[in-house]
Amino acid sequence: MSATLLNGKELAAKKREQMKSKIEQLAVENITPGLAVILIGDNAASQSYVRGKQKACAEVGIYSELIERPDSITEQELLVEIDRLNEDPAIDGILVQLPIPAHISEQAVIERIAPNKDVDGFHPINIGKMMTGEKTFLPCTPYGVVEMLKEASIDLEGKHAVIVGRSNIVGKPVGQLLLNENATVTYCHSRTKDMRNLTTQADILIVAIGRPKFVTAEDVKEGAVVVDVGINRVDGKLCGDVDFDGVKEKASYLTPVPGGVGPMTITMLLENTIQSAESRK
């Protein structure tokens, strides 16, 4: 047996085609969705991510504005920049590309973005709404993961989902979204005792810890659905947190790296921006 690939690249392309028609409908009402990205400093990875976001915006017809600032920007200067974008009627979504310099409080920045323009889904108000199952902007990577599972017609209700990793960006929210879909959720992390005992019980195993090939075939139940959120570079090649070659012989479904979860993250960012623009009507 070899796992069926959950192809995020294909699903992202399909969703972006659907977005184009939504944006055409908004254009009839003189609305163009707008996304502003603030990029601080010259981190090569951040610059690459931002280019990807700009390219994706152009592809579907979203107006994008890039604001580049040096590492020396003060926290107050950055907050003023965010305030300006909060007031700008042409901007529906604001994101500050992480990481940001150590002298600036990440939490202060996240909380300064207006909740109705928080297309990253990180504002405490939007996190709270997600927890209670209200309609809100969902964090992009977890949102993308759940969309992939639904697209593959994987039934989530009553399934045991095990999440390896508890970050605020992926681990915690993806568990909550699966709970909202009536899955039973277990979290594993660096302090978990006998992690393999838990991962081998998972019907759905989601791995997001940033450690190359950490999860091996021995950690996976026969026929499990395995979603690899990790992106690591080893000897110049990209790989995930899951040992793909070993696990594909045991899993029923498996995401590749690259081409799995990654393309869905930017796609759900576009989806959130369009959703924000639609609320202007």
User: Residues at the annotated binding site for NADP(+)?
Assistant: 165-167, 231
| Cα torsion through 215, 218, 222, 226, rounded to 10 | 0
Cβ proximity of 235 and 213 under 8 Å:
no
Token pair listed for 132: 């209670």
| Cα torsion through 183, 130, 40, 83, rounded to 10 | 180
Active-site pick, 15, 22, 53, 248: 53
* Dist. CA 193–CA 196, nearest whole Å: 9
Active-site pick, 120, 219, 228, 243: 120
Q: Is 111 exposed, middle or buried (0-12, 13-18, 19+ CB in 10 A)?
A: middle
Active-site residue 243, yes or no?
no
Q: Which long-range contacts (CB under 8 A, 24 or more apart) does 259-262 make?
A: 259/7, 259/8, 259/9, 260/5, 260/6, 260/7, 260/8, 260/148, 260/227, 260/228, 261/8, 261/141, 261/144, 261/145, 261/148, 261/227, 261/228, 261/229, 262/8, 262/231
* Dist. CA 22–CA 55, nearest whole Å: 18
Can you give the C-alpha Rg of the chain in angstroms?
19
Coil vs helix vs strand at 51: helix
* Dist. CA 134–CA 142, nearest whole Å: 16
Active-site pick, 97, 221, 228, 243: 97
Angle subtended at Cα 100 by Cα 95 and Cα 102, rounded to the nearest 5 degrees: 150
Q: Binding site: residue ranges?
A: 165-167, 231
Active-site residue 97, yes or no?
yes
> Could you give the residue numbers annotated as active site?
53, 97, 120
